[in-house]
Every structure is written in C-alpha cells, then in structure tokens.
Amino acid sequence: MSNFMSKHLAPEASKLYTVIVPYQGAQMTHRYLLLVAGLAMFAAAALTQAQSAKPVRTASGQPDLQGVWINPTLTPFERAASMEGKAKLTKQEMGEIETRARANQVDRAPQSGDPGTYNQAWFDGGTTWLSTGQTSLVVEPSSGRVPIKPSALAQRDYDLLHVTDAPEYQTTWDRCITRGVPAGMFPAGYNNAYHIVQTADTIAILSEMIHETRIIPIGPIGPINGRPHLPSNIKQWNGDSRGHWEGNTLVVDTTNYNGKGMIATSAATARVKGIHQSEALHVVERFQRIDDKTLNYEVTITDPEIFSAPWKVSMPLSRDPNYLIYEYACHEGNHAMENILSGGRLAEKAAAQKAAN
C-alpha cells in the first residue's frame, strides 16, 4: 500500500499517510478509515487551492479587478546605496527593518525654527516591507535606480531653487493639478488607496490622493472596435489611456502627454520627485489579480527625452474592503502654496530694503 501511495499521490498526501497509518495488524479497519479521511482532507485542500488560483470574474467574463486596493510600504522607490547589488532581503532582514520603523513612528516636538508637520495620526506610509522582499519598487534596470539624464536632474534642481518665485516651479501635486500617470500609483506618505470600478468596456480608478478618477476604455488598441488613441495632436496632462486584456492581465497603454507633468510627485520617490516628463512619454501598465487579496501592478516607462533607458516599477497592492475613502479637498486646504509664495515676496522685500540701506 505504501508504495502505491508514494507513486500515485501528491507528496502532501503520502506524508499524511505516513503520519496517520503507523501500525499494522488488528487495526486494519481504523487504518483504512484514517486513510480515507486523510485523502478527503487532501482533496479538499487541493480543491481550495485550485479555487483560490482561479481568478474571480465579472458577469462579462473578465477578471474582476474591482474593490479598494492599498499600497503603503516601507520598501523604498529606488534601491538605497547601502543595498547596492542586493535585489532581495531575507525575512529576518525585513523583520528587523519593520521593527525599527515601528519604533520610529512616534510624534516628536519640532526643533527650534521648525514649524512642524502632521502628527502620526495622519501618516500612512506603511509598517511592512513588500512581501516579495524586493529592495526597491524599481525592478528594472537591475540596479533598482531610475536612469535619469543629467539634463533632467538639472531641471529638477533649478525648479527647487525657485519654488518661492512662482507656482510653476512646484510639482503638479503641490499645485493640486494632478499626481500624474503613473505617478498617482506610486506610494506616498498617506492616502494610498485606489477604488477600481469595472464594466465590460471601461475601467475607472479613483485615487484617494487629490480624488482623481481615471476613465480607461477597454478594447484592442486600434480602429477595429472603435477605441483607438486620440489623434497625436491632442495632448493631455495624464495622457490618453487605452486598455486591453492579455489573458488575465489588463494592459493599459498611455500616450499623448502634454509634457507639463512630472513622472513622480511624492516625497517618497526621493530624487525622482519633480523630474519632468516630455511629450514623448509612453507608459504601459499591467494589472493582474493574483488572488482575492492581491493585485499586482507593473509599469514600464519610456521617455527618451528624460531617461537614458526604459525602466520598470513592480509592486503588489492589497485589497482592503474596510478602507473608507474620504474626499481629498486639495485646493481648499492648500495653504502651503500661498504661504510659500508669500514668504518669497517677503524675502524679496527684505532684500530690497537691505540693498537700499
């Protein structure tokens, strides 16, 4: 019997058989009952595993991406210099980082001259490392670093030196215009939630931050079903998105950018924040529901005016049915913009008075 079991049952079942049938002789009836029970348990587990692997589908037969998804994480956007050459962390390393992060997420009094910031109740930058163990959200190139051209870095630095001069030197997020595409999908210090609603021919993604909603038509790119990209002379802040299915993956192709936005607008993206994008920007996103609680997101970014090579971000989002998205009143609460510009005018006035004296 044991040879038959070893040859014809999965390893999990043969291990179960070895554990529950350790004896011979007078207990044959009990032995076979235990064996049948073990096989039933194995079959049920296999069925559950198969069902969890099968994607949930909508009434129209498409993979169901709907729900509220969140992506706060301790994993940095780019790989830190201290982790150079290290693509993944061990579970122990991840645990140590998470422990230090939790200990550091406490409110402290601001230093002298510092006006302070939000307290911890308002932050939601994550308490865990990505389950994949990857050392950066950027997975290509293998360095985990975005291949930014020196000219693009110089433009970012110039903007930073002139933020008090005019609003145009601020990021589009600071100006409450848009977080951008794909920038709006990158984790920030708070408001990392996305509500996806889906029909047979359209996907809508509501971002909690700045309460933006993307409307993405679905269908093969091209004139066959009447869902081509907009004419090339029509440019938009967040480009023109068109989605289509490749198996169980939603692929979203975005072109037609107006060149006024930025590829990243959150401080969590560190040196990439404030990097401009050009009209040549081409973005390809991939959404794939892995299981009931996980949505994998990948985006490949190509902009030869700004980057020396294409680069890719990859990360899982977690489904949270209990997460409540409230309105993000950006313009109504944007006192920072007024204060920054007012401070610039006061500095100019003080400089003029000093020069006059």
Give the domain ranges of the chain.
2-53, 67-80+123-337
> Above 80 in pLDDT, residue 137?
yes
CB atoms within 10 A of CB 215: 10
Residue of higher predicted confidence among 334 and 38 = 334
Contact 159, 169 (CB under 8 A): yes
Pick the residue with more confidence: 103 or 65?
A: 65
User: 79-104 pLDDT, tens per residue?
Assistant: 999 999 999 999 999 999 999 998 88
pLDDT of residue 219: 84
Quote the CA–CA distance of 311 and 303 in Å, as a whole number. Answer: 10
Mean pLDDT of the 27-55 span = 48
Burial of 120 (0-12, 13-18, 19+ CB in 10 A): exposed
Whether the pLDDT of residue 36 is over 70: the answer is no
Closest Cα to residue 119, out of 105, 133, 131, 130? 105
CB 209 within 8 A of CB 329: no
Q: pLDDT confidence of 112, banded at 50, 70, 90?
A: confident
The model's pLDDT over 158-204, given as tens digits with 9 standing for 90+, comes to 999 999 999 999 999 999 999 999 999 999 999 999 999 999 999 99
In this predicted structure, which of 100-109, 123-132, 281-290, 347-356 has the lowest mean pLDDT?
100-109
The residue with tokens 């589908």 is 57
pLDDT of residue 220: 66
DSSP 59-88: TTSSB---EEEE---SS-SS--GGGTT--B
Q: What is the pLDDT of residue 223?
A: 52
Q: CA 154 from chain center: how many Å?
A: 27
Helix (H) or strand (E) holding 264: none
Output 106 or 213, whichever has higher pLDDT.
213
180's CB contacts (< 8 A; 6+ apart) are 172, 173, 237, 238, 261, 262, 263, 264, 265, 277
| Residue 26: band (very low, low, confident or very high) from pLDDT cuts 50, 70, 90 | very low
114 forms beta bridges with: none
- Residues whose CB is less than 8 angstroms from the CB of residue 258 and which lie 6 or more positions away in sequence, other chains included: 235, 236, 237, 279
List the single range of 34-48, 68-82, 194-208, 229-243 with lowest mean pLDDT.
34-48
pLDDT at 157: 98
Q: What is the mean pLDDT of residues 101-123?
A: 84
Residue 331's pLDDT is: 87
Residue 196 pairs in a beta bridge with: 67, 205
Instruction: Count CA within 13 A, CB hemisphere, residue 60.
Output: 11
What value does the mean pLDDT of the chain take?
86
pLDDT at position 20 over 70: no
Confidence of residue 332 (pLDDT cuts 50, 70, 90): confident
Distance between CA atoms of residues 32 and 34, nearest Å? 5
Residue 228 CB: number of other CB atoms within 10 A?
15
User: For the segment 213-269, what is each residue's pLDDT rounded down to a tens digit?
Assistant: 999 999 865 554 557 899 999 999 999 999 999 999 999 999 999 999 999 999 999
Q: Which of 145, 101, 144, 103 minimizes the C-alpha distance to 125?
A: 101
DSSP state of 21: -
